[in-house]
Structure 1
Amino acid sequence: MVDQVLASDPPPGQGAAPPADRPLTDRPPGVPGVGRRVVGVLRRVAAAGLWAAVLAGLVYAWRWTDTPTDDIRAYLVYWLAGLVLPGTLVHRALRGSRGNLPEDLGYGAAVGLVLELAAWALATATGAQSALRWWPVPVVLLFLVVPRLWRHWRVREPRPLPLRWHLAMAVLLGLIICWAAAQWEDLPLPPADFAYYQDLMYHLGLVQELTRGMPFELPQVAGEALRYHYLSDAHMASASLVTGSHPATVLLRLWLVPVAATAAVVTAGLARDLAGRWWVGPVGAAAAYLGVPLTLGSPVSAGGGLALSFASPSQTYMLPLLMLLTGLCVDLVRGRGLGPAWVLPPVLALACTGAKSSALPPLIAGLGLAGLVAWVRARRFPWRVLLALATLLAAMAAGYRLFAGGGAGVLVLQFFGLIRHMDPYRETLGVDDPIEIGGLLPPGVAAADGSTGWHVALGILGFWLVLQLPRLAGLLVTVSRGGRGDPAAWLLGGAVVAGTTACWTLFHPSASQLYFFAAVMPFGAVLTGWLLAVARPPWPVLLTAAAGGAAAQLLVPPLAEPAETVPAWQSAMADTAWRVLALVGAAALLAVLLTVLFGGRAVAGSAPDRPARGRGRWVAVANAGVAAALVGASVAEGVDLTVQWIVDEPRPPAAAERLVTADEMRAALWLDGRAGADDVVATNVHCQPVRTYENCDARAFWVTGLGGRRALLESWGYSDAVVAEHGRDGRSYPLQPAPDPEVYALNQRVFTAPAAGDLARLRHEYGVRWLFADTRAGKVSPALSRLAPIRFTAGPVTIHELP
């Protein structure tokens, strides 16, 4: 049953810090016992209704974006019965119940994702993919037949959360659904005349590949080993194998919201554990997954928008795993043992590394710092923390050997490298930067006269830090009375600093160093929520400050676009920074004045851990006001962007030459439905736009993505060999030539000047069975149809089969 709704937080040692709010009762003064039970039932019904509304909203969003009903039904059964149920049972067995059903199910879903990865690895290693759908059965049966495990079927020792928590989480998840629907609105399911973002088609090809058996290959370049953090794609491959839904439907629709919702619930649970107050959970999760950097009318954004990403499945999939792992680390640095839950850190750490290679390094840095703080504070060496640190390091090393490759090869040390992707530098000192990666400083900074380069670099860094204050202000917890002695605050704070430092000391030609910061955005948001709880000013103070921040973000007039000169950009950034500082000052002053107006009272029902007194008390109140204003502005901007995305006119289609036609997609889908699982296809489609020419952008990916089969040589833009050649001859890695010129020449010759010998070589030497010939991509000789029988034709595409 959904939990009772107005009880206190868990006691110490049972999943949370001591409750700071006075335990509430379901019975107002004078209400008899029968009335209390009636009120309790009504509140449980109301809470259940809120969660039902979230589920109904998700189903509506799927149907609104033309997701097939059968796929929706199958996916919901898969998610609830195949992930949440076994995961919840295992999590309760290892760590106990959270005391309330929603958090139990959220944490259970995160554990279910890890269990699914283990089942998928076993199935693909043994060729038993058809049996994958049955992996939850032995887990559930174990909890049915072993009497000792029966207790894990229910919430033992209920510690329910207030109805307001359920309402806040329902609103948060509803807004996440709206954000997802905004991504789907103009993204049709295939076949359609559409130009998909190339990374989505790349991931779709990986999803298709991971439904096959080990060892895995890079499907766009058959025969090359797959080295990539692909576990998000493994999750979607598992979902497709279990539900029978096409991988494109899973990727483009079904997987996103359940995983994001899991991350939100686990993050809210972590925030509640840290601060000891129920309301910090929804606030921290909202700041983490709805908030974006401030703009306040700035002509340029800071980059690093939402922690959630539709275009980067690996980033979103990593979040619930990382937050669950962080919760375990929090228990350790606070001196709590894990007991049987020690089995979770190594598997979660390996899963995080395999999901996103940038996830684990900041957490390792934070854990090391927290262990040092715990050692100094307790004057006893934290052996458990050391063991956890060794576990995470070993998992990262193993993950590097198993998964690392591709873009990681061009991630280099370069201080201020991020500015090379920002307009204030690109339009000024960086306007003539070469494509090559460069040295320890961006080329324009290194070549600037005098101290100009340093002034520009430091100015952009300061500007970026100011706009990221909603994710960074929470670092004040580490020096506040309520947090400076808590190693958990240093754990998250150290991770935030490490992620930020990596973002600004590394360079990647596609700005992938930002993912180090994206991994710690939720940590920063949780710390900011914790900062609100340190002072506990009256609720009207926090709500007024948050509303003021939101109003400032939404109503302040935009600044004019600056000229492309250093002084103009410095002036524009300074004006934005002054706006942010004015908001900070106004919020601090308003918080202090309103607290005085309310008599300096703390929130009713304060816990025994009394707030700071005297000047420290007012500093804490000012900090809380600033944090509330920053969260209000950040979330308001994120929600406003989503609303605009939904209500604005449909975005215009891509240029005709970039579109992949419905006929081309239909042909690829035909291939997916007819070819054998291990068949290899040769195609003349390599680039975007579709037509192939010398040094074109070799990132088409849709033949392998929609066609579902390995290609002899489709698109090589993300292959390890080509990525390593970034900058050669002044071209970025997607514009580099094919990695094997001989194979490329043979592949092209088969379509333009086919000969029986070349076709035989394809069939017997490279295992090619199908030819996917597209006249939009290049010349296709009429002689090909005489040498290889035609099996399907759609628009410009003809599919041939080699005997």
Structure 2
Amino acid sequence: MGQLQATGRGAPSVATVASTFVARGLPWVLCAAVLGSYLEVNGTAMSDLGRYAGYLAAAVALPGVLILRALVPSRRPWVEDVVLGTAVGMAAQLALLVLVVALGVSQLSWLRWWPALVVLPVLLVPRLRRRCLSTGSAAARAAQAPGWWHWGVAGACLVAGAGAVRAFLESPLPPGEGVYYVDLPWHLALVHAATRSVPLEVPQVAGTTVEYHWFADGDMAAASVVSGVPEAVVLLRLWPTAVVVTGLLLVAVLARALSGTWAAGVVAAWIFAVLRGVQVLPAHFAQGPIVLASPSHGYVAVMTAGAMVVIVWALRGQRIGWGGWLLLVALLAGAGGSKPAALPTLLCGAALTSAMSLLVHRRWDRVKAPAMVLLACAALLPLTAIFLSGSDSETSVRLFDFIRWHPTLRDVLSAGSGSSLLPAGVADLGVRSLQILGLGLLAVAFPHVGLHFGAAGFALRSVRADPVAWFVAGTIAASFAAFLIVSHPAFSQVYFVRLALVHGAAVLAWILVGAARRAPAPQARRVGLVAAGALVGAALAWLTARLAPTLDLAERSSVVAWRSAFLWSMMVFVGGLGLIAGALLLAGRRQRQLQRSAAAVLAGALVLGAPAYAVRDGALDAAGDALRGTRVDAVEKPRVSNEIPLPAGGGAAMHWLDLNTPRDAVVATNRHCSRGTVAKGCVSNLYLVSGLGGRQAVLESWAYVSVSGGPSGPSPYPERLAANDALFTDPTPEGFERMKQEHGLGWLVADATATPVSPRITEFATPRFSAGTITVYEVR
């Protein structure tokens, strides 16, 4: 479909060009147009949309594709080069930003010309030009993605992208007023910090170093510098959508690398976009692959999926050369610098693959590739742990800590003290505790039963001989094991599972395609078996939901009631699937075709049908709003959890501060709490000056500082806090001079509702802007 047919003069006919565009170009034009319109109608300037789109094409995808082709000569369809090249471009751009800022280059706008460092050598050096601009082999050209792949994946991109847009529309763009999810202004502060110094200086505490996986914030900083789009617009509108779509496309490419078929890419894309596991139990712990409120997770999804593609190439015996290994190290470094969960799980997968390759094949040449991956992960892990993982200082080993975070099962936890290894309520390991643990493990494991079904494939010799199968099994098993044994005060261990589900979407598609391939031909029959399985799975999920018992308020604290509800749901759902499994078992060795048909039906039920039933409650609503061009204020707004309200005039004042002060200005503020004052006790997690204002603060808040005792604890900088607040309550020449000498103080942001503001402050600083309860002063 879409093959160009030459006219007599060697040029493609108009009809051929038109049909090719309809098959391969139109779906992406429509997807971009709908998402762009949805952003524009909800307040994103069309100029920002245009600049950001141009930036993605010319400053990320283009140089990334050229770097990819220079390092690993192309034998691939062009769509795979573009998708993987985008991830490569993101990694290269971040590395250059770090270099430029670390060298102290004052004019960051020079970074806008970084693509020329890649494009010019390609154009001027004949060998590079042939390597990077070649159309590839005839086989590669013939293996281009079919038109239905473009339409299917573009549709999934529209759904996932619209969901990302809608999730952030509650957060107002400056100078708007409103509320923000607590982490977003903090990430915005890190975006600004990444343009000032490397290593990053904690934006809320001058003179201290950031110990956090900040690469996602660095990528947004580079995006703002290169595109010219304001940092807040990048974080709150454009970057989340771009990263989610890029991650989805990489998962689709990974699915094809795993399975060798384009159909797996479409399946993986839709699993990534809308499915959240088999949610038939009365209390489940189903997770999605992307946490939209966590920019670092979006970035690690892109870097990890890109690294997984290269790893699959290497493990399958493709010659990637030294350039491929260099590319893999860059992507692994990007992953390790964006989430601490990435490298340990990939390392476990590489270790298992190395061991099994040696055990099965007993040949060094079959162990070389997984050993190289293992070495790369092992070398990068301590570096990222030392320099980028300060946020993990309160992480500990505690078995099954997730139970106390479960929204329903935690109701059955009895009072009592915990132990160093077990949480309160189950530490005694009595009968009741063991039942709670069993329910909790079932709630975690059962939604992902499709992945467990894939483990049955290891009964086949061909699967056992495939190092990629061992690698993905090792990474996914390590992710779930870490989730069960790691404890974090903010439940960050859940990111291990979330990250596994990113490439887990591609693995599920691989499982489905593998089961269908083994079913009897012809192709239409295989598709029919999978479709029948999907209908059976959806019907069983619907039946389970209709027949499941409803627990009243009193029963929600009863282990017996929960156990009965679990058993009833399992009996209905598993019993129905057991009919199919029974047919598979009774078929006998002489009826392999029936066995394989039953396996295809079962795969369709577990991978597509049962999970699809759970998305009936509105997963497609955002795409519908995007297609209709609905304004967010015309519908029920997304609910903001853990919200931070702005003080009156805060949005306008911080917008003025961002536009009218030097990028390296240092600001003192008397507002340290999201609500209330320090004297009365507060939660110190307000990022007004450092986030929305985009400037370095002497001392703003201390919730996410490594030495902090928590957001509600006392300040770990009591002397600095006293000297800082004295500038507002009891200003003196000595106080201002000290702040100038120690921190380079140049501006003040005073909130009349935080602490008393002395009228004598005008002796040392000139009022420059005022809005609501906020006044901005310039220190004389």
The TM-score with structure 2 as length reference comes to 0.89
Partners in 2 of 1:106 and 1:476 — Cα distance? 32
Distance 1:564 1:781 in 2: 55
1:589-609 Cα shifts (integer Å, max 9, x gaps): 469989x9xxx9xxxxxxxxx
What amino acid is aligned across from residue 119 of structure 2 in structure 1? V
Alignment partner, residue 497 of structure 1: 477
Q: 1:525 to 1:657 in 2, by over 3 A?
A: closer
Q: Decide which of 300, 303, 320 is 1:321's aligned counterpart.
A: 303
Per the alignment, residue 576 of structure 2 pairs with 586
| Distance in 1 separating the partners of 2:752 and 2:414 | 40
Residue 286 of structure 1 pairs with residue 270 of structure 2: yes
- Residues 621-770 of structure 1 correspond to what in structure 2 (within 5 A)? 621-632=597-608, 633-638=610-615, 640-644=617-621, 649-651=635-637, 659-661=645-647, 663-689=649-675, 691-722=677-708, 725=709, 733-770=710-747
Paired residue for 2:346, among 363, 366, 369?
363
The residue that corresponds to 1:22 in the other structure is: none
Q: Give per-residue Cα distances to partners, 1:711-759, cap 9 Å, x unaligned.
A: 111110010001xx3xxxxxxx211111111111222222223333322
Q: Which residue of 371, 374, 377 maps to 2:360?
A: 377
Given that residues 79 and 145 in structure 2 are in contact (C-alpha distance below 8 angstroms), is that contact kept between their aligned partners in structure 1?
no
Asked if 2 retains the 8 angstrom alpha-carbon contact of 1:6 and 1:163, the reply is: no
Query: 1: distance between equivalents of 2:574 and 2:604?
Result: 10
Change (3 A) 1:802 1:471: farther
Does structure 1 residue 775 correspond to structure 2 residue 752?
Answer: yes
Closer/same/farther in 2, CA of residues 98 and 308 from structure 1, 3 Å limit: farther
Partner of 1:72: 49
Aligned counterpart for 1:388 among listed residues 373, 379, 383: 373
Task: Pick one of 69, 73, 96 that aligns with 1:96.
Answer: 73
Identity between Structure 1 and Structure 2 (%): 32
> Are the aligned partners of 1:789 and 1:802 in contact in 2 as well (CA < 8 Å)?
yes
**Offset of residue 400 of structure 1:** 1.4
Please say which of residues 559-568 and 217-226 is displaced more in the overlay: 559-568
1:426-482 Cα shifts (integer Å, max 9, x gaps): 322255668xxx51011221146x332122112211222112324543333333455
Which of 236, 241, 263 is equivalent to 1:257? Answer: 241
Gaps of 5+ in 1: 8-25, 27-32, 601-611, 726-732
Give secondary structure in 2 for the equivalent of 1:468: helix
Q: How far 1:83 moved relative to its partner?
A: 0.6
Q: 1:703: how far off?
A: 2.1
- What SS is found at the alignment partner of 2:770? strand
Does the aligned pair in 2 maintain the 1:47–1:163 contact within 8 Å? Answer: yes
1: distance between equivalents of 2:30 and 2:332?
34
Residue identity in the other structure for 2:401: G
The residue type equivalent to 1:764 in the other structure is Q
Distance 1:131 1:465, change over 3 A: same
1:311-710 to 2 correspondences below 5 Å: 311-339=293-321, 340-381=323-364, 382-406=367-391, 408-429=392-413, 439-447=420-428, 450-480=430-460, 482-536=462-516, 537=519, 538-550=526-538, 553=541, 556-557=545-546, 560-563=550-553, 568-572=558-562, 574-576=564-566, 578-579=568-569, 582-587=572-577, 589=579, 614=590, 617-632=593-608, 633-638=610-615, 640-644=617-621, 649-651=635-637, 659-661=645-647, 663-689=649-675, 691-710=677-696
CA separation in 1, counterparts of 2:705 and 2:326? 35
Per the alignment, residue 89 of structure 2 pairs with: 112
- Local SS of the residue matching 1:721: coil
1:156 counterpart (128, 132, 136): 136
The alignment partner of 1:789 has SS state of: strand
In structure 2, relative to structure 1, the CA distance for the partners of 1:37 and 1:708 (3 Å cut) is closer
Query: Does structure 2 retain, via aligned residues, the 8 Å contact 1:302–1:464?
Result: yes
- The answer to whether the Cα contact below 8 Å between 2:336 and 2:384 also exists between their aligned partners in 1 is yes
Of the structure 1 ranges 736-745 and 98-107, higher mean CA displacement relative to structure 2 is found in: 98-107
Say whether residues 1:207 and 2:191 are aligned partners: yes
Distance in 1 of aligned mates of 2:32 and 2:48: 15
Structure 1 Cα separation of the partners of residues 433 and 637 of structure 2: 39
SS of 1:772's partner is strand
Which whole-Å deviations, capped at 9, do the CAs of 1:199-237 have from their partners, x for residues lacking one? 011100000100113332110111111111000000000
Conserved in 1, the CA contact under 8 Å of 2:583 and 2:598? no
| Counterpart residue type for residue 758 of structure 1 | G
What is the Cα-based RMSD across aligned positions, in Å?
3.1
Q: 1:573 to 1:659 in 2, by over 3 A?
A: farther
3-state SS in 2 of match to 1:348: helix
One-letter code aligned to 1:634: P
Give the whole-Å Cα distance in 1 for the aligned partners of 2:503 and 2:209.
35
1 CA distance for matches of 2:387 and 2:180? 29
How far 1:276 sits from its partner (Å)?
2.0
The alignment partner of 2:645 has SS state of: coil
Q: TM-score, normalised by structure 1?
A: 0.86
Cα deviation, residue 96, structure 1: 3.1
Between the aligned partners of 2:676 and 2:387, the Cα distance in structure 1 is: 33
Partner of 2:115: 136
Q: 1:652 to 1:166 in 2, by over 3 A?
A: closer
Please report how far the alpha carbon of residue 561 of structure 1 lies from its aligned counterpart in structure 2 after TM superposition.
4.2
Distance 1:569 1:782, change over 3 A: farther
User: CA distance change for structure 1 residues 662 and 780 in 2, over 3 Å: closer, same or farther?
Assistant: closer
What secondary structure, in the 3-state scheme, does the structure 2 residue paired with 1:293 have?
coil
Quote the residue 1:273 is aligned against: 257
Q: CA deviation at 1:179?
A: 1.1
Once residues 200 and 449 of structure 2 are traced to their aligned partners in structure 1, the CA distance between those partners, rounded to angstroms, is 42
* One-letter amino acid matched to 1:217: E
Instruction: Give the whole-Å Cα distance in 1 for the aligned partners of 2:721 and 2:658.
Output: 23
Q: Return the alpha-carbon distance in structure 1 between the equivalents of residues 639 and 672 of structure 2.
A: 21
The aligned residue for residue 16 of structure 1 is: none
Where 2:759 maps in the other structure, the secondary structure is coil
Counterpart amino acid of 2:118? V
Instruction: Name the CA distance, whole Å, in 2 between partners of 1:501 and 1:52.
Output: 42
1:656 and 1:259 mapped to 2: Cα distance?
23
1:499-536 CA distance string (max 9 Å, x none): 00000011111110111111111233222222212232
In the TM superposition, residue 587 of structure 1 has moved relative to its aligned partner by: 4.9
Greater mean deviation of Cα atoms: 769-778 or 90-99: 90-99
Structure 2 letter corresponding to 1:667: A
Aligned CA distance change for structure 1 residues 354 and 656 (closer, same or farther; 3 Å) = closer
Look up the SS of the partner of 1:365 in the other structure: helix
Which stretch of the first structure deviates more once superposed, 93-102 or 580-589? 580-589
Distance 2:574 2:511 in 1: 15
CA apart distance, 1:579: 3.1
Could you say if the C-alpha distance between residues 580 and 144 of structure 1 is closer, same or farther in structure 2, counting changes exceeding 3 Å?
farther
**How much has 1:330 moved relative to structure 2?**
2.0
What residue identity is the alignment partner of 1:549? G
- Alignment check: 8 A CA contact 2:666 2:744 kept: yes
Task: Pick closer, same or farther for the CA change 1:147–1:771 going to 2, 3 Å.
Answer: same
- For the Cα contact (< 8 Å) 2:165–2:240, is it kept in 1? no
1:177 counterpart residue number: 161
Question: Amino acid of the residue matched to residue 778 of structure 1?
Answer: T
Aligned positions, number: 746
Shift of residue 186, structure 1, vs aligned partner? 2.7
Shift of 1:270: 1.6
* Other-structure match for 2:629: none
Three-state SS of the structure 1 residue aligned to 2:746 is: strand
